[in-house]
Chain A
């Protein structure tokens, strides 16, 4: 950190300070250490031959010519892995279907066996002296494919006559699952005065983190130890899944290191084939094996996101009060079950469909479907953006049906501020929130009152102007392990922290969470700074190496602070408790009379005190020490298992203009008012919101993974897959309201995904509002210029009443 950029502010950089990110100096000066930056002595390079077909029989693979190519060290196929007893890639979540039967869970071989099921499915790996030689040789592998028809869209894949991916999955169905009281919902619809209906698609996305995936496997022939360096959000999860299920290696012989990771958005949670391949092959060739994805490869091998087709109906009384919600969703799983895929459209989606509302009866039916496409799994928000998008678009339809202002219909149905803890009809119990307050904050900042005048002005310029509101609730910090286990999780969901105080009072914090851009090295250090009264510069945060950190679950689902931070606070409590014993001894006082604040142990009501650094030194140099009752050293580990989810919430308001001539959408203004509970670092939170909004806007207006009928990805590069650019985004107006989480030590809720959850519905409600002079028109994401132009052309305004009908 350069001298002119002190990390800490005047308050020591504790909780609530916008401490500059400690990690940014190395990132911004090109001194980060990412997996591809690492090169091991004697390293070889792997190239994966991938299927060019979406669905085909693997009739024969002939590697004879390739093996003779220059530089080739080894070539392995699925048959080699099967013969060696390598297992398939495991799924980490078991969904039990509506009949009480387990989901269909077909094998997911590391290298394809018998069939390939999506473009990009790995068929063989070539290991060579250089990456180019490996690729050259791969072109000499002769594969006989028996090309089969493909099933691409989930809604088509369940129809009779569709191509079948797996014999054990009739109609390509993984499970049919449901939640909620169907008879109560049916009864409510029977007496409803008003009903709003909606069909929509939640478009498939490619995660596209800036850093492509990479992995290096290394085998120590002397010790028999394996090391995997990988671009992962959760190295211990990878060690567990790969060690226990795929390679059958015990934990003490397998180290997984996830060094600096350049973005993940969920796509780096999962255990991927390439990790197992390089680890296994490193022992076969007795040299390190490195694989780095190129960008084109990432498009066909990184898990993708979203891809739901839904029908939803909302029953209301004559005043627009919600009586019941009915949702039917078909979720595309892709060709195989990725690590957490089955949980996304169920546990993390259907349970969120109460949203911010008191809807008393909800029933959700979900059908998960295999298709010949890249596997789908959690992507920033993971189920909650899909829930929010469906619900908030439906509520806007409901407002038109009930002839109510979109803000008013929301207020009429919000959970009252005195109703917490609030039990929803879809399993969750919200602990705190104030949806009225965030909505009012957002509407005021967005100048809702002045909107109609701005709309009229825009019309004179040939623009269709619209304003869209979305409120959201999300469930973060998943979850009590026992609850998650009952819902099908095959792992615990606690988090760990070790606070190691050094003899001079500086601290190393080992966390089981994993920063891949979130700024943990700063935020976590602020917790220690506040808890122990040391400067944030005196705290180093270590994560990402299973040989250093205690067993932790990594970072996803906005859990790092809510769960990981809670573990840090527990460990800090243990350090302080032990420090108090040492201080009592040195101060010749009763332990109960020693208090600790701002880095000082003091005998209550006296000026007798010892600094934290003095206590730390004494713990490691125990000359004058209560050695009979207190162990030397000051190094404490804690595990924290959450008591509930946390429930961040908020209101987002988008104001947009559509150019009638071209269909181009311009976001004029975007306001986000969020409730994340207590905020540790406001600057980092704002950055997280900005990033999330950019991704949410990307989904709404630009991004879409488009496959043709043969299963070829048409948007397989940035030439065709449109990412949001800075120029596409307005200056964001962001604000926060604080209601504390009631069940974790910090009162924090999580902020990493909120932007991506609220933004799509706010933008698309604004688009629908802008188009309302033309009629009540279905528009699915992304609302591209071409799509909107065609809509405008086919709905001449003169033929439709100015106000939207039902």
Chain B
């Protein structure tokens, strides 16, 4: 990798100053995407600002109707949290099944959503659960946060601090893993909330999206059979050597049904 200035601020305030001051700084969370990118010399930041020393970003708490997870909580920590498991088992399962154990012990919630890889798991949970993203500048809804492929509403010097998830009546996540990378070829997060059913899909398109037709069907009857015969348009979906757009469209329906079946 190329040389860079390494900084490890101990507070969010110092981190904010550091990223604002850097010529071409990058925030380092778990580094699961950034470090391989650096090793392959595909990025050349002037500064790497490591958020790993900021204790306030790691908290996980369940409070009333929400689960709030600090941006630097690792997937393993979320997966191991009894409180998360009790409140939103589907979210717990999602965190416990990202990548492999090495990834789960380094990768973080904040890192994952800030990168917004189209095949990442977490964005589906945020969108399906109607999560709120807290940053050093503001709070955003998941719908506003995820903008496009590897693109979010974050400004360059803005840091995700936590995400709060309203606790649904029930929720489940099912995914079809890329056989090589284990990323989601298609991941479907289904939630039954007070405001109705919500279905969010990751992996299939350029960025996470909801499926209104599936949600309407599930609002009529929250059962896998309600989705029989429903499909999504393959036109906007990703297509690569691992899965065609048609295959992805088909898998969205299959895994939506499997997720609903798990909780109905």
Contacts and interface: CB of A to CB of B under 8 A. Distances in A.
B179 interface: yes
B254 interface: yes
B179 A718 contact: no
Given A702-B179, A722-B179, A786 B40 contact: no
A62 interface: no
B62 interface: no
Contacts of A627: none
Contacts of B254: 661-662
Contacts of A169: none
B247 to A, nearest CB: 5
B244 A720 contact: no
B247 A786 contact: yes
A662 B176 contact: yes
Given A296-B40, A662-B254, A789-B250, A718 B181 contact: yes
A87 to B, nearest CB: 33
B13 interface: no
A714 B180 CA distance: 13
B220 interface: no
Nearest to B258: A661
Most buried by B among A719, A722, A786: A786
A710 to B, nearest CB: 15
| Most B-side CB within 10 Å, residue of A720, A723, A784 | A720
B102 interface: no
Nearest to A708: B241
B251 interface: yes
Interface string A646-679: 0000000000000001100000000000000000
A292 to B, nearest CB: 14
Contacts of B176: 662
A589 interface: no
Given A662-B254, A715-B241, A789 B180 contact: no
Contact of A718 (B40, B180, B241): B180
Contacts of B181: 718-720
Contacts of B180: 702, 715, 718-723
Nearest to B257: A661
Interface in B215-243: 241-243
A162 interface: no
Interface string B173-188: 0001001110000000
A789 B247 contact: yes
Interface string A706-746: 10000000110011111100000000000000000000000
Q: For chain A, what secondary structure do more than half of its interface residues adopt (helix, strand, loop), or is it mixed?
A: loop
A706 B179 CA distance: 15
A714 B244 contact: no
Nearest to B251: A662
Nearest to A296: B40
A793 B250 CA distance: 10
A720 B241 CA distance: 8
A428 interface: no
Contact of A785 (B41, B179, B246): B179
Interface string A747-787: 00000000000000000000000000000000000001110
A790 interface: yes
Contacts of A790: 244, 246-247
Contacts of A789: 247, 250
Nearest to A661: B254
A784 B179 contact: yes
Contacts of A721: 180
Contacts of A718: 180-181
A718 B180 CA distance: 6
Interface string B243-264: 1101100110010000000000
A715 B243 CA distance: 14
A714 B247 contact: no
Interface centre among B40, B244, B247, B254 (most CB of A within 10 A): B247
Contact of B241 (A136, A296, A702, A714): A714
B242 A786 contact: yes
A314 B244 CA distance: 36
B118 to A, nearest CB: 14
A661 B176 CA distance: 12
Tell which of B2, B41, B176, B179 has the most Cβ of chain A within 10 Å. Answer: B179
A120 to B, nearest CB: 15
Interface string B27-43: 00000000000001100
B242 A720 contact: yes
A729 to B, nearest CB: 13
A661 B180 CA distance: 20
A518 to B, nearest CB: 28
Contacts of B243: 786
Contacts of A720: 180-181, 241-242
Interface in B144-191: 176, 179-181
Nearest to A659: B254
A13 to B, nearest CB: 37
Nearest to B244: A786
A785 B243 CA distance: 9
A417 B67 CA distance: 71
A662 B252 CA distance: 11
Given A719-B181, A720-B181, A706 B247 contact: no
A688 B242 CA distance: 31
Interface string B188-223: 000000000000000000000000000000000000
A418 to B, nearest CB: 47
Contacts of A784: 179, 242
Nearest to B39: A294
A780 to B, nearest CB: 15
A719 B241 CA distance: 12
Contacts of B250: 789, 793
Contacts of A719: 180-181
Closest 9 CB pairs of A and B: A722-B180, A719-B181, A722-B179, A661-B254, A786-B243, A786-B247, A720-B180, A714-B241, A789-B247
16 contacts: A135-B41, A662-B176, A706-B241, A714-B241, A715-B241, A719-B180, A719-B181, A720-B241, A720-B242, A721-B180, A722-B179, A723-B180, A784-B242, A786-B242, A786-B243, A789-B250
Interface of B: 2, 40-41, 176, 179-181, 241-244, 246-247, 250-251, 254
Given A662-B251, A722-B179, A790-B244, 19 more contacts: A135-B41, A662-B254, A702-B180, A706-B241, A715-B241, A718-B181, A719-B181, A720-B181, A720-B241, A720-B242, A722-B180, A723-B180, A784-B179, A784-B242, A786-B242, A786-B243, A786-B244, A789-B247, A790-B246
